[in-house]
Amino acid sequence: MKKVLSILLALMMVLLCFGCDSAAQNDDPKLPLGGSDKDTFTVGICQLTTHVALDAATKGFKDVLTEEFGDKVTFIEGDGAGETSTCSTIVNDFVSKNVDLIMANATGALQAAANATLDIPILGTSVTEYGVALEIENFSGTVGGNISGTSDLAPLTEQAQMIVDLCPNAKKVGLLYCSAEANSEYQVKVIEDELGKKNIETKRFSFADSNDVAQVTEAAADWSDAIYVPTDNKAADCTATINSVTLPKKVPIIAGEEGICSGCGIATLSISYENLGRKTGEMAVKILKGESDISEMPIEYDTNPVKKYNKSICTELGITPPEGYVAIE
């Protein structure tokens, strides 16, 4: 009997100790996702492809983290060469290395990262519309879970008005974009609606990849009085090809962002991608220091887009931009 009582008392002591330990753990404040008491960090950067806009965003992002953490932050970088499947390989490597945060630069990189992990914080940048990119219905502005970031969406209604201001005689506007980019479809739909209100006819000209850009651009240039090219990564890779078709035919292009405009456009209302990257970096600092919970962070925007023009192409086409436009350097 004494032996039984001794065993029962021992069990009660174990349970009491376990309960105290659990209570102590429950009293500890829970760090936000990504927050850590570490003082060194590893950040994975997956960039969909190499071009001026995305490069600038990556630079701005790295600059902010380096300014904050110095040599206590290490970057692992990968370039997807325009392929989401390559981005998947890159981010899966980040996950295997258990990085502290992933920065996904452009839509394809964001989609790959979102499919790779539900645990590591992911910040997107150079992504036009997160609801479209991540297939979120009735998107409220906050993704939730382990994803947030910044958007490169410039005011599309103002871009539509730029077509009217710079090409007042245009009755038919071709919409040239990559059909594989969901965010391009979104921008094109908005521009269609806006130009429709102005009684301007529009027609879509979509290419699947770089192999058919020249042929599709040829068709667009033959039909159009002016062309609109949205913020589109594949178009950004192919500006030289697009320009080689449209410039000899004297068809002006209004572009969704500065990188495309500098290659083949006459004007754009563009954000600063370096500033966008810096804003993304500021979000990353808050997450890594445990100051913000990524699940509660809304998508942020560059609120100061600038009207810019391509001086050489405008001169070639005899177009004089209205006041308020800044020449692309």
Q: Rounded CA gap, 303 and 6, in Å? A: 71
Give 24's pLDDT tier (boundaries 50, 70, 90). very low
Lowest mean pLDDT among 26-35, 83-92, 171-180, 286-295: 26-35
Report phi then psi at 45, rounded to 5: -120, 115
pLDDT at 37: 62
Q: How many Å separate Cα 251 from the centre of its chain?
A: 29
User: Is the distance from CB of 184 to CB of 177 less than 8 angstroms?
Assistant: yes
pLDDT at 209: 87
Q: State the average pLDDT for the chain.
A: 90
Instruction: Please say if the pLDDT value at position 52 is more than 50.
Output: yes
Greatest mean pLDDT among 9-13, 301-305, 308-312, 321-325 lies in 308-312
Give 55's pLDDT tier (boundaries 50, 70, 90). very high
Smallest CA-to-CA distance from 157 within 132, 182, 187 is with 187
Lowest mean pLDDT among 22-26, 106-110, 219-223, 268-272: 22-26
Mean pLDDT for 140-152 is 97
> What structural domains does the chain harbor?
41-152+273-298 (3.40.50.2300), 156-270+306-327 (3.40.50.2300)
Give 151's pLDDT tier (boundaries 50, 70, 90). very high
Instruction: Please say if the pLDDT value at position 1 is more than 50.
Output: no
pTM comes to: 0.81
CA distances from 88 to 104, 120, 279 (A): 11, 15, 25
pLDDT at 38: 77
Instruction: Please say if the pLDDT value at position 149 is more than 70.
Output: yes
pLDDT at 39: 86
Give 35's pLDDT tier (boundaries 50, 70, 90). low
pLDDT at 2: 41
**pLDDT tens readout for residues 288-311:** 999 999 999 999 999 889 999 999
